[in-house]
Structure 1
Amino acid sequence: MKPLCLILAAFLAIFGLAGCFQMERVIKLKPDGSGTIEETMMIPKAALADFQKFAPGNKPPDVFDEDRLKQAAGKMGEGVTFVSAKKMSSDAGEGFSVVYAFTDINKLKIDQNPGDSMSGPGGTPQGGKKDPFVFHFTPGQPAVLRISMPPPQFKPAKPGDAGPDDATLRMMQQMLKDLKIVSAIEVGGAISESNAEYHDGSRVTFMDVDFNKVLADPAKFKAMIKANPQTIEEAKKLIHGIEGVKIETAPEVTIQFQ
């Protein structure tokens, strides 16, 4: 998994004004290797208003596009099918939830970042460098799932590099406000053994980042952004000291369940 400072940079590049998206993806795995992918996206009204300002003719953004969500199934791997989708609306904002089914988790092609499988208002792709999970599942008693992730990339330290200035940091704080992103897997049974750092009951969390909690401590946020870890151990120490951040850093997670 990428260290947090690189994830932050990716978020800024991907979402721009729409940094306050709230996204969640949960993969639910059955003992036979099949299962579902459940995704939700919510966009606060303030962000929708920003999109509308820049849209042609100031047309309100189209948050829910069922056809586009159906097409996304074909990019998730062999045997993935669209099940259902519904629009979500509240006083806080608008969004959608969508469910896909898969027949074999070994054939899934799911990116680590939930935002990369979704589209923003008006069909804007949440693109960027792809970092897919690789799943290896063996049924049995217990069933064993191994999830491989690309190794973290570290930016070489440059002498005298002080990091972003205060103006840039203030801009990042505004852009990241209300952004929350969750990625997890739930297995159909009790986990008997796992090396995952964040697991509870039948659920393993790969990423759970709540930037409102991160931004609640401006000094720590500033130190985090300016940090440039050079090893996975340094990245772990950086992440563990931040409220509102859970990111799995192991290159491979193993889950045994029955």
Structure 2
Amino acid sequence: MKRIFSLITLAAVALGLTSCFEAKSVVTVNKDGSATVEETTLLGAQLKAMLGGAGANDPGNPAAGLKEMVPDKAKAEERAKELGEGVTVKSHEEVTLPDGRGGVKVTYAVPDINKLKYSPLTSKNPESSKEPQRPMTFKFEGGTLTVISPDDKPKNPDAPKKPQIPKEQMAAQVAMMKPMVAGMRMTVELKGASGIASSDATHVNGDTVTFFDVEFDKLLEKPEVFGEMMESGDNLTQAEVAEKFKGVNGIKVEGKKTFKVVLK
């Protein structure tokens, strides 16, 4: 969970120019235990320009850490090897939308979901890269999929607590960030290719289980919630994030370490 919130912080810094950033990961599981993983990243025109040419490799470029989320074919092949045994790149598509946004959609073929080790929304954020990979894992048997979230990093009881930011100061910071993160969204979903018969996951809608979804436009309607998320999110466990922001329009987080999905 900390890696995801570190990525949110990285994206917010990269969006110092008014821009747009959207990342979506969808794991679709078939009845035979095979699966696909679709990762789509869309960038606004300004952010695309920041990542173009030599600028993407410039350590002084705040957007450089996001380049891994817009992989070329070679990088996609490397990621396939990281995802688990037998995973291959099924397709690599350049995406261009009428509103000027563009990016990449990569689809990975997974022959056996049991061998998938999935860390969604990965980037080369210097801070998050210090953390060891803690991927989601899956067990599929008899039409039932068990999704296991990684263990949270143990908290340091001696770590100093962050000072509480006054509400007025927080409101001012949120107002300043509003144009930077407008249109920003990050989503991780799980789908049943033939549908879902039942699930004990928290956020289920039809054939889709939402593991993580943050819509910044909706969060910005409540500055105090947005500020609290940016201030404390990376210090909370997955369960704590889910509980703290339960019922808040614009954010969904699966709080259970393990949940089951029965496919139709």
The one of 127, 139, 159 equivalent to 1:136 is 139
Where do residues 145-156 of structure 1 align in structure 2 (5 Å cutoff)?
145-152=145-152
Given candidates 82, 86, 111, the residue that maps to 1:75 is 82
Q: Tell me whether 1:93 sits opposite 2:90 in the alignment.
A: no
The answer to whether residue 213 in structure 2 is matched with residue 208 in structure 1 is: yes
Cα deviation digits, residues 109-140 of structure 1 (max 9, x gap): 111xx321x689xxx9x8463231011110x3
Distance 1:74 1:57 in 2: 23
Equivalent in 116, 122, 127 of residue 108 of structure 1: 116
In the TM superposition, residue 82 of structure 1 has moved relative to its aligned partner by 1.1
Letter paired with 2:39: E
- Which of residues 246, 249, 253 is equivalent to 2:255? 249
RMSD: 3.8
> Among residues 145, 161, 164, which one is paired with 2:163 in the alignment?
161
8 Å contact 1:40–1:97 — kept in the other structure?
yes
Deviations 1:52-76 (A, max 9, x none): 5982899xx9856222223321111
Q: Which amino acid aligns with 1:33?
A: G
1:64–1:87 CA contact under 8 A, matched in 2: no
Gaps spanning 5+ residues in structure 2: where?
Answer: 59-63
Shift of 1:178: 2.6
Structure 1 CA distance for aligned equivalents of residues 82 and 176 of structure 2: 34
TM-score, structure 2 as length reference: 0.76
- Per-residue CA deviations over 1:170-205 (Å, capped at 9, x if unaligned) read 565555433211111111333232110111222111
Q: 2-side partners of 1:221 and 1:213: how far apart?
A: 9
TM-score normalised by structure 1 residue count:
0.77
- Equivalent-residue separation in structure 1 for 2:124 and 2:160 (angstroms): 36
Distance 1:53 1:199 in 2: 41
Instruction: Name 1:33's counterpart in structure 2.
Output: 33
| Change in CA separation of 1:34 and 1:151 when aligned onto 2, cut-off 3 Å | same
Identical pairs, percent: 28
Q: Does the Cα contact within 8 Å between 1:214 and 1:243 map onto a contact in 2?
A: yes
Contact 2:239 2:254 in 1 (8 A): no
Give the match's secondary structure for 1:115: coil
Match of 2:9, as an amino acid? L
Show the counterpart of 1:12: 9
- Give the structure 1 partner of residue 61 of structure 2: none
Please tell me the residue identity of whatever aligns with 2:222. D
Q: Which amino acid aligns with 2:136?
A: F
Q: Quick check: 1:23–1:41 contact (8 Å CA) kept in 2?
A: yes
Matched, 1:24 2:29: no
Task: Give the one of 174, 182, 191 matched to 1:186.
Answer: 191
What residue identity is the alignment partner of 1:83? K
Q: 1:158 and 1:73, CA in 2 relative to 1: closer, same or farther beyond 3 A?
A: closer
Consecutive unaligned residues in structure 1, runs of 5 or more: none
Alignment length (residue pairs):
245
